[in-house]
């Protein structure tokens, strides 16, 4: 049985605003196993990135973690000091950010930035660090590694920048990498290359990956398990094959229906009606009720409980809370 690397229990993240407290993440629970690629998917504004940043305690003010646990190798990161987190960030948990052009420091070469991470965590001598980063860049498909090390980020293409960003995340040999929309700023061909690269790094280096994305197609190609986020909550989670072959939550069905079929030209794409409401709104009941085609009177009044469809598939929906254990009801 796979070992649990990360457990997130009842995570709650809030931002103070002039209009009240904004709950960006509300009661999120999920578990990531060692050597797994775990997908977090949902529309923009659903709390995906905030969850990823919360794991590293990188929530910008006025945001803060207001509840829950983040257990990494059994240790609660929420209770750790900033000094402890500095020792952990980069060394044991790394993050690949959405926009490498913004995440990489324009004042330093790629080699200086990679070397700084390794020196910060006392990984090898200067000569060993140089050799390691050369080999790492070559593994990441950058054949002219010496030239890349001497280059500033603006001299590199988007695909090269993202590879350099991944190298920065990998160079200290962490246990966990959080990849936040790592292909969002790249063209389709480079997107596929970066995704294939992440999968290969996971296989060859044994690193565990949390992949944050808005694209269920990406999840289908790369992930072992997935959690579907909506309005700061998980509405459905489980093994990828379960989520795709036995889709339960109306929101997940809407996301899947919106995927274009490359075999059909000129098709009318399905859309989920309405927009994500603000967490400042006084919502009761199911957060998806206003946009749901299957809503019932109780959906407006009662927040649906988590129901296990089977041992590897959970859904939060009133369509299933009366038939738990009896399979899905469409």
CATH number at residue 207: 3.40.50.300
Query: In the prediction, which pLDDT does 282 show?
Result: 64
Q: Does residue 328 register a pLDDT over 70?
A: no
- Domain co-membership, 130 together with 245: no
DSSP for 249-282, written as a single string: SHHHHHHHHTS--TTSTTPPPP---S-PPPTTS-
Q: Tell the residue number behind the tokens 């690193």, with chain if given.
A: 207
Mean pLDDT of the residues in the chain: 89
pLDDT band for position 281 (cuts 50, 70, 90) = low
Q: Tell me the per-residue pLDDT of 190-243, one tens digit each, with 9 for 90 and over.
A: 888 888 888 988 998 899 999 999 989 899 999 999 999 999 999 999 999 999
Query: Sheet of 93-96: strands edge to edge?
Result: 93-96, 176-180, 208-213, 37-41, 225-230, 233-239, 313-316, 306-310
Using CA atoms, how far apart are residues 269 and 273, in angstroms rounded to an integer?
Answer: 12
Query: 197 and 283, same structural domain?
Result: yes
Residue scoring higher pLDDT (275 or 155): 155
pLDDT-derived band at 323 (thresholds 50, 70, 90) equals low
Residue 144: pLDDT over 70: yes
Are 155 and 180 contained in the same domain?
no
Select from 173, 204, 234 the last residue of a domain.
Answer: 173
Decide if 323 is inside a domain.
no
Residue 207 belongs to some domain of the structure? yes
Q: Are residues 141 and 266 in the same domain?
A: no
Provide the terminal-to-terminal Cα distance of the chain, rounded to the nearest Å: 32
Mean of pLDDT values over 165-182: 91
The answer to whether the bond into 62 is cis (omega within 30° of 0) is: yes
Residue 329 included in any domain: no
User: Same domain, yes or no, for 169 and 232?
Assistant: no
The answer to whether the pTM exceeds 0.95 is no
In a domain, 327, yes or no: no
CA dist 44 and 98 (Å) reads 13
Give the mean pLDDT of 271-288: 80
pLDDT, greater one: 94 or 324: 94
Task: Examine the domain organization and report whether 51 and 115 are in the same domain.
Answer: no
Which of 153, 173, 193 corresponds to the end of one domain? 173
In the prediction, which pLDDT does 280 show? 60
25 and 147 within one domain: no
| Domain count across the chain | 2
| Per-residue pLDDT at 2 | 65
**Which structural domain, as residue segments, surrounds residue 57?**
4-92+174-316
Identify the pLDDT of residue 172: 87
Please indicate, yes or no, whether residues 156 and 254 belong to a single structural domain of this protein: no
- 277 vs 240: CA distance, rounded Å: 27
- 324 lies in a domain? no
Q: Are residues 45 and 16 both part of a single domain? A: yes
Residues 169 and 77 in one domain: no
Q: Is the pLDDT of residue 130 over 90?
A: no
Instruction: Answer yes or no: is 157 within a domain.
Output: yes
Return the pLDDT at 139. Answer: 85
Query: Distance between CA 67 and CA 53 in Å, rounded?
Result: 15
Q: How many helices (H) and strands (E) does the chain have?
A: 11, 12
Task: Write the pLDDT tens digit of every residue in 235-275.
Answer: 999 999 999 999 999 999 999 998 887 777 777 878 899 88
Query: By C-alpha distance, which of 205, 175, 8, 35 is closest to 92?
Result: 175
Same domain, yes or no: 147 and 201 = no
Domain edge (last residue) among 173, 207, 224: 173
């Amino acid at each position: 049985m796979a070992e649990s690397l990360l457990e997130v229990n009842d995570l709650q993240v809030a931002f103070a605003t002039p209009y009240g407290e904004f709950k960006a993440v509300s009661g999120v629970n999920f578990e990531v196993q060692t050597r797994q690629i775990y997908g977090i998917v949902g529309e923009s504004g659903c709390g995906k990135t905030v969850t990823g940043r919360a794991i590293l305690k990188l929530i910008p003010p006025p945001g803060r973690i207001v509840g829950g646990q983040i257990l990494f190798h059994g240790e609660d990161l929420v209770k750790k000091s900033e000094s402890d987190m500095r020792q952990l960030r980069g060394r044991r948990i790394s993050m690949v950010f959405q926009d490498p052009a913004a995440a990489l420091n324009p004042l330093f070469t790629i080699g200086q930035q990679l070397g700084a991470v390794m020196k910060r965590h006392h990984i090898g001598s200067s000569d060993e660090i140089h050799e390691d980063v050369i080999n790492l860049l070559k593994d990441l498909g950058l054949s002219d590694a010496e030239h890349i090390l001497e280059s500033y980020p603006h001299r590199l293409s988007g695909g090269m920048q993202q590879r350099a960003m991944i190298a920065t995340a990998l160079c200290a040999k962490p246990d966990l990498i959080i990849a936040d929309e790592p292909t969002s700023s790249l063209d389709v061909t480079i997107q596929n290359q970066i995704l294939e690269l992440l999968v290969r790094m996971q296989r060859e280096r044994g690193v565990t990956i949390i992949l944050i994305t808005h694209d269920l197609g990406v999840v289908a190609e790369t992930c072992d398990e997935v959690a579907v986020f909506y309005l700061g909550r998980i509405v459905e989670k489980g093994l990828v094959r379960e989520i795709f072959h036995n889709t339960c939550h109306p929101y997940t069905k809407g996301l899947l229906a919106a995927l274009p079929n490359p075999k059909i030209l000129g098709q009318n794409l399905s859309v989920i009606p309405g927009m994500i409401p603000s967490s400042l709104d006084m919502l009761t009941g199911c957060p998806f009720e206003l946009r749901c085609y299957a809503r019932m009177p109780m959906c407006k009044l009662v927040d649906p409980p988590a129901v296990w469809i089977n041992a590897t598939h959970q859904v939060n929906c009133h369509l299933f809370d009366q038939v738990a254990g009896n399979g899905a009801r469409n």
